[in-house]
């Protein structure tokens, strides 16, 4: 946590002991069409967003085969391939798509293999450096899904494995099969359901990747946020993102946007230093969240 006299925090994180990534990353979900379905309304702007992200120094991009579906991965390739040497592209499998804003779960090993192979082809890679299970499938034994991920890693198709929307017990179960390097759960200053999972990840030196880190922009009217934002002449969204960077050194941020302007605004949060007093005020938001 930031000290009032020296309000600093570590800007990078060592993922899996071999990838040094800037903690301010980019989530590539919103460069697709409405309802995360189909192509973006402005293809050229989506390409500019991805290219500008790399220009800003972002070297961690999070996507999934279900974003579009396939569209997000295809855009990343169109915009950035051949990739910068230090760029880590993380993708996910385990959700299918039947329409806008519809996300059926399928973590059956046969489906996951098809999804993984599709991601490899679209991203033009021989190996996914961070492959994340998008959801645990209640219709498929968890052990069968874990066995597939373990096998894919042994085959060299996956370098590192992460999980999403999981409990501590579910993380521990996965650790019986492979090293879990990241957990991606919904988390923000006003949504704190997964506090114990964040703490466990910090103890285990796993990256914790909050999705929906500014609650789809719905945090702007929260009084403590607006007060801190006014203090620094910044925005509530930037304060909310900075709070996450200060909250724990293993948090990686992946705010998403389809506009270069918003991308640049989000990125400024990486330079916003909060004091202990600021953090204490912001912590009050989550007491009932």
Q: Any idea which residues carry the catalytic annotation?
A: 67
Backbone φ and ψ of 235, nearest 5° = -110, 155
Q: What single-letter DSSP state applies at residue 210?
A: -
* Cβ atoms within 10 Å, residue 268: 16
Half-sphere exposure (CA, 13 Å, Cβ side) for 90? 32
Residues 6 or more apart in contact with residue 82 via CB below 8 angstroms:
none
**Cβ(132)–Cβ(153) under 8 Å?**
no
Closest to 8 measured CA to CA, from 272, 205, 228: 272
What is the distance between the alpha carbons of residues 115 and 74, in angstroms, rounded to a whole number? 14
What is the distance between the alpha carbons of residues 21 and 128, in angstroms, rounded to a whole number? 16
Pairing of strands 60-62, 26-27: parallel
What is the distance between the alpha carbons of residues 151 and 251, in angstroms, rounded to a whole number? 28
What is the distance between the alpha carbons of residues 117 and 174, in angstroms, rounded to a whole number? 22
Q: What is the DSSP string of 126-162?
A: SSEEEEEE----TTS-HHHHHHHHHHHHHTTSEEEEE
What is the distance between the alpha carbons of residues 152 and 129, in angstroms, rounded to a whole number? 12
């Amino acid at each position: 946590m930031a000290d009032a006299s020296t309000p600093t925090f570590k800007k990078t994180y060592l993922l899996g002991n071999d990838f040094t990534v800037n903690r301010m990353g980019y989530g590539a979900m919103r460069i697709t069409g409405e309802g995360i379905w189909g192509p973006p309304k402005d293809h050229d702007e989506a390409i500019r967003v991805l290219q500008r992200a790399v220009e800003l120094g972002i070297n961690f991009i999070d996507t999934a085969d279900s974003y579009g579906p396939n569209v997000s991965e295809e855009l990343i390739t169109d915009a950035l391939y051949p990739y910068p040497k230090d760029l880590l592209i993380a993708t996910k499998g385990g959700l299918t798509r039947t329409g806008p804003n519809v996300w059926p779960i399928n973590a059956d090993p046969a489906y996951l293999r098809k999804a993984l192979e599709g991601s490899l082809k679209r991203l033009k890679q021989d190996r996914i450096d961070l492959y994340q299970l998008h959801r645990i499938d209640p219709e498929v034994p968890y052990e069968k899904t874990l066995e597939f991920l373990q096998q894919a890693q042994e085959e060299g198709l996956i370098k590192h494995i992460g999980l999403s929307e999981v409990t501590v017990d579910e993380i521990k179960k996965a650790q019986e099969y492979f090293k879990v390097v990241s957990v991606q759960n919904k988390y923000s200053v006003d949504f704190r359901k997964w506090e114990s999972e964040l703490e466990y990840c910090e103890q285990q030196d796993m990256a914790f990747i909050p999705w929906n880190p500014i609650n789809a922009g719905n945090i702007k009217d929260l009084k403590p946020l607006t007060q801190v934002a006014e203090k620094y002449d910044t925005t509530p969204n930037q304060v909310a993102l900075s709070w996450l960077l200060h909250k724990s050194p293993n948090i990686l941020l992946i705010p998403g946007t389809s506009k270069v302007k918003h991308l640049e605004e989000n990125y400024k949060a990486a330079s916003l230093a909060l004091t202990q007093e600021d953090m204490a005020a912001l912590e009050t938001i989550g007491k009932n969240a």
